[in-house]
Amino acid sequence: MRLYLIPDSYDNSGQLILTGDQYHYLVRVLRYRIGFEFEGRDNYGRRFKLRVKELYGDRSVLTVESIISDKPELPDLVLYQCVCKGRKMDQIIRQASETGVARIVPVISDFSVAKIDDKNSGKSERWRKIIKEAIQQSGSMINTYLEVPVAIDNIPGIDDQDKLGLFFHQESSVSPVSLHKYLNIQPRQISIVVGSEGGLSDREIEILYKYNYNPVYLKTNILRAETAALYAVSAVQTILLESENWTLKV
Domains of the chain: 4-67 (2.40.240.20), 76-245 (3.40.1280.10)
Half-sphere exposure of 195 (CA within 13 A, CB side): 24
As a whole number of angstroms, the distance between CA 78 and CA 82 comes to 13
Dist. CA 110–CA 168, nearest whole Å:
16
DSSP state for residue 119 in the 8-state scheme: G
**pLDDT at residue 73, rounded to an integer:** 72
Q: Return the pLDDT at 154.
A: 94
Predicted pLDDT of residue 121: 63
Q: CA-to-CA distance for 107 and 84, rounded, in angstroms?
A: 9
pLDDT attached to residue 12:
86
Strand partners, 194: 81, 168
In this prediction, residue 32 carries a pLDDT of 92
Radius of gyration, CA atoms only, the chain: 20
What pTM was estimated for this model as a whole?
0.78
Q: Which residues of the chain have pLDDT under 50?
A: 118
The number of beta carbons lying within 10 Å of the beta carbon of residue 111 is 17
Confidence (pLDDT) at 117: 60
